[in-house]
Amino acid sequence: MTIANIEMANAWEEEGVEWTRDADRYDASSARHWQRFLDTVRIEPTDSVLDIGCGTGQSTRDVGRLASSGSAHGVDLSAQMVDEAKRRSAEAGLTNVTYEFADAQVHPFEEGAYDIAISRFGAMFFADAGAAFTNIGRALKPGGRLALQAWRGLADNEWLVAYREALAAGRDLPAPPNGAPGPFALADPDGVRMLLTDAGFADVTFEAVDAPVYFGIDPDDAWVFVAGQGVFRGLTQDLDEEAKAQAIAKLKQVLVDHTTVDGVLLDAASWIITANRA
């Protein structure tokens, strides 16, 4: 198997351990956004679906159930998460759902094999997004569809702003840029429209989703989830013990301040991006 996105593959070697361990928590955290995606994007019973960046496979399983007479195939850069996806799919008894450890940027998908390619927050990490979407486009039938869920900009996402403000500890943290590999790679509509058009797609549309993300049933439960996340480790690794303790106290207070009858919820903003293979 060829891996072109080496940096991300190495990163997900480590992150895959955490995401596999906390798979149910991650699925629950963005459930409101994902349900909106399923309500918006039409999956036909006979569709052949390609799921990019499938992680532990909930998205693939969900669309596989909708494509009941078709199929769903998930690919991801984390071998550990793919193994967990296979285990969960077998446990669920799904016979039309498959998974593969693969780099969608260069993987030799069968040309014209899929009716629709989807991604739930998984298509934001390509080292060469143009090459990746061109490759994904080849895997679609003529007129085939693309449907992506991706975060909007940092300022629109309270949950990330709150993380950064609580853990800054007096530092001026650089904002992750729109368009670069990472959480905001697909945040800018103009840039994404140009990217997808150059990759052979047409009729690019954006639908805004504003819904909270869920961190736990209460602040203590939410803290267990947050403390195990890569974003927490990344923002605290350079702090001395005193500064780290103060930052943790601030972040714990954020969780307390955002506790509701439905659990710990922080506002979040995503796009549902759709296009057709030209």
Name every residue whose Cβ is closer than 8 Å to that of residue 21 and which is 6 or more positions away in sequence.
228
Q: Which domains does the chain have, with CATH numbers?
A: 6-155+176-216+263-277 (3.40.50.150)
Residue 177 corresponds to which tokens in the numbers above?
């840029």
Q: What digits encode the pLDDT tens for the residues 52-85? A: 999 999 999 999 999 999 999 999 999 999 999 9
3-state secondary structure 220-232: HHHHHHHHCCHHH
Residue 183 contacts residue 271 (beta carbons within 8 Å) = no
Q: What is the pLDDT of residue 219?
A: 98
pTM, whole model, 2 decimals? 0.94
What is the Cα–Cα distance from 22 to 14, expressed in whole angstroms? 13
Higher pLDDT, 56 or 16: 56
Q: What is the pLDDT of residue 8?
A: 65
Q: What is the pLDDT of residue 1?
A: 60
Name every residue whose Cβ is closer than 8 Å to that of residue 104 and which is 6 or more positions away in sequence.
52, 53, 75, 123, 126, 132, 135, 136
What is the DSSP annotation of 154-223? GGG-HHHHHHHHHH-TT--PPPPPTTSSSTTTT--HHHHHHHHHHTTEEEEEEEEEEEEEEEESSHHHHH
Give the relative orientation of helices 79-92 and 6-21 as an angle to the nearest 10 degrees: 40
Q: What digits encode the pLDDT tens for the residues 120-164? A: 999 999 999 999 999 999 999 999 999 999 999 999 999 999 989
pLDDT exceeds cutoff 80 at 267: yes
pLDDT confidence of 177, banded at 50, 70, 90? confident
What is the Cα–Cα distance from 101 to 9, expressed in whole angstroms? 11
